[in-house]
A and B are shown apart, each in its own frame.
Chain A
Amino acid sequence: MSLLTIRQLKVAYGGIQAVHGVDLVVEEGELVCLIGANGAGKSSTLRALAGLTHASGDIRLAGRRLNGLPAHAIARLGVALVPEGRGIFARMTVAENLAMGAYTRRDAGVADDLTRVYDLFPRLAERRGQVAGTLSGGEQQMLAIGRALMSRPRLLLLDEPSMGLAPLMVGKIYETIQAIAGTGVTMLLVEQNAHLALQVSQRAYVMESGRIRLAGASAELMRDPAVQSAYLGA
């Protein structure tokens, strides 16, 4: 059974239909990306998945239906969202932010996971006592990813991790994403920067005006002339 199965997902804001029936599958241990232009419905798909937006269709995590569940219940089932714009707790310290990530956990492994996150992001370890709002954009993105990892998620959702970052920082963030994928964490990555997303992911879905236009192995999509002209600027 696939870890995540989405069938005929539809999202509407008032009368405006943002997502027109999306089908998407993520297998255990995969890094799948969802690329597309601004307004294609990528973030809406992700928000529906996290329970932040009302949606119709069928969303299942390891066979369990997620539709209609509130966001916190979905989070407790192991779906961690790194929201667009990072959504860190700006007035808490780095350490307090990471502790919030483990809010629902009561097991003994939290301290180990904290060490692991600090190993993954040495920058955060240096600044653990610093107020999160005073971090740079890239560090805030690291913190948001680290915080999501603290919940030990079954599925990690990343919403535009490259947004608003300096190119060097984007490179660093993507190195880390690859490192996290290497540890076996299943990820669904939403990204406008198709070039980067296709490089790190195994499979990709291309979204356009609320529909999936193309799907397949990332390496093949990179060679696809349609993708090249529309998204890779080749």
Chain B
Amino acid sequence: MLEFLRRPRTRAQARAAIILLAVLLAVLPFLVEAGLSRSWVRVLDFALLYVILALGLNIVVGYAGLLDLGFVAFYALGAYLYAWLASPHFGLHLPFWAILPLGATLAGVFGVLLGAPTLRLRGDYLAIVTLGFGEIIRIFMNNLNAPVNITNGPQGINLIDPVTIAGISFGKTQQLFGITFSSAHFYYYLFLAFTLVTVFIAYRLQDSRIGRAWAAIREDEVAAAAMGINTRNIKLLAFAMGAVFGGVAGGLFAAFQGFISPESFTLWESILILCMIVLGGMGHIPGVILGAVLLTVLPEALRYLGDWQRAAVGEVVVDPGDLRMLLFGVALVLMMIYRPEGLIPSRQRKREFHAEDGVAAQEQASLYDSRA
């Protein structure tokens, strides 16, 4: 979809495509509500939330090549900060526009705190440390209810304030301009705005000096340093930038759900977000967006498997929950076999996964050298 935008045949066609896409995105929740159900609008909201998360993690994993398995920790920090500052838990009720920047900052600081001790680590070793970090944050949230009740432990924090803009509370269904907007509709537009900003920033970062420095570090850290790149700061910046998006998404999640508990921030979430990136095409924005949408929508669609079974054999033979995970696993395995570079890979990613062609070409060239 976005690929088409980047290679328009004419300027007019490009403009038409953008307008079409904008209109589609604008009416999508109403189409989905009419065609499927209101609960599908919520799925749409989650899809957008995961696009923000996946683009955030993509900065760390896709751009800088640092395998982070604890990304959900930043999501949790953003969500908990929102809950603390806008719920009856501490009796604070700050507006969302004040909390989100704080959440982003907190997550960014923790991003640097995670990055600093792991600067020398790469690959598997970095993955293990970040995985531990994610678990530590979750376990803290689970246990910080005594002696002072900070997180309310496993029960989580309830009655979180919904987002309110211009006196309109996003928490309840309202009539505006004669159109009925449910809570899910309001959040759709809010999340869409944040997603668009995220996509814009992700593109700008990718094409910036910083983006080139990340690419260089991913390829060869020693050579990157020899080019005059401050590898330490640039790596910390990747952790911090990724974490900021995680923190913002966490705040949006808390406001949207109205309830958070440590259960929402398990290792599975980190892996799911990583899967979105891998499935879609690591380091490539349209791919990452596609991966996030697919992996949010497909599991929901697979819920219908229970109904189908009931219709076909009169009872639920296999629990759809189990079946969903199974199909999910099969889909990922098939991906790894047939299209390891992702559904819409970047140019560089494609090169990496089709290295055999490259090696063959190199051998050819070496022969040419020895004759030259």
Contacts and interface: CB of A to CB of B under 8 A. Distances in A.
A4 to B, nearest CB: 17
Question: Which of A88, A134, A137 has the largest number of chain B CB atoms within 10 A?
Answer: A134
B26 interface: no
Contacts, number: 104
Nearest to B209: A103
Contact of A103 (B228, B357, B358): B228
Interface in A67-111: 70-73, 75-76, 80-81, 83, 87-92, 99-101, 103-104
Contact of B348 (A88, A92, A166): A92
A91 B357 CA distance: 13
B220 A88 contact: yes
Interface of A: 50-52, 70-73, 75-76, 80-81, 83, 87-92, 99-101, 103-104, 131, 133-139, 147-148, 151, 166, 168-169
Contacts of B129: none
A131 B358 contact: yes
Interface of B: 209, 212-213, 215-216, 219-220, 222-232, 348, 351-352, 355, 357-359, 361-362, 365-366, 368-370, 372
B227 A100 contact: yes
Nearest to A166: B370
15 contacts: A52-B222, A70-B230, A71-B226, A72-B227, A81-B226, A83-B222, A87-B223, A92-B215, A100-B212, A100-B227, A103-B228, A134-B362, A136-B369, A138-B369, A168-B372
Contacts of A101: 227
Question: Which of A70, A101, A133, A148 has the largest number of chain B CB atoms within 10 A?
Answer: A133
Contact of B228 (A131, A151, A168): A151
Given A52-B222, A70-B225, A133-B358, A169 B369 contact: yes
A90 B227 contact: no
Nearest to A91: B348
B225 A72 contact: yes
Contacts of B229: 72, 103
Contact of B226 (A87, A131, A133): A87
Contact of B351 (A83, A103, A133, A168): A133
A72 B224 CA distance: 8
A215 to B, nearest CB: 27
Nearest to A167: B370
Given A70-B232, A89-B220, A168 B370 contact: yes
B226 A104 contact: no
B369 A103 contact: no
B358 A134 contact: yes
Contacts of B224: 100
B222 A87 contact: yes
B212 A75 contact: no
Nearest to B359: A134
Contacts of A71: 222, 225-226, 231
Contact of B365 (A73, A89, A139, A148): A139
Contact of B212 (A51, A103, A135): A103
B219 A90 contact: yes
A168 B370 CA distance: 6
A135 B216 contact: no
A51 B361 CA distance: 35
A50 B226 contact: yes
Contacts of A135: 362, 365
B225 A52 contact: yes
Closest 10 CB pairs of A and B: A136-B365, A104-B228, A87-B223, A71-B225, A75-B228, A134-B358, A89-B219, A166-B370, A81-B226, A136-B366
B372 A103 contact: no
B366 A89 contact: no
A72 B365 contact: no
A52 B227 CA distance: 12
A151 B223 CA distance: 13
A192 B365 CA distance: 25
A166 to B, nearest CB: 5
A137 B359 CA distance: 11
Contact of A136 (B215, B219, B351, B368): B368
B237 to A, nearest CB: 14
Contacts of B220: 87-90
Given A51-B225, A136-B368, 11 more contacts: A70-B232, A71-B222, A72-B231, A103-B212, A103-B213, A134-B361, A134-B365, A135-B362, A138-B369, A166-B370, A168-B369
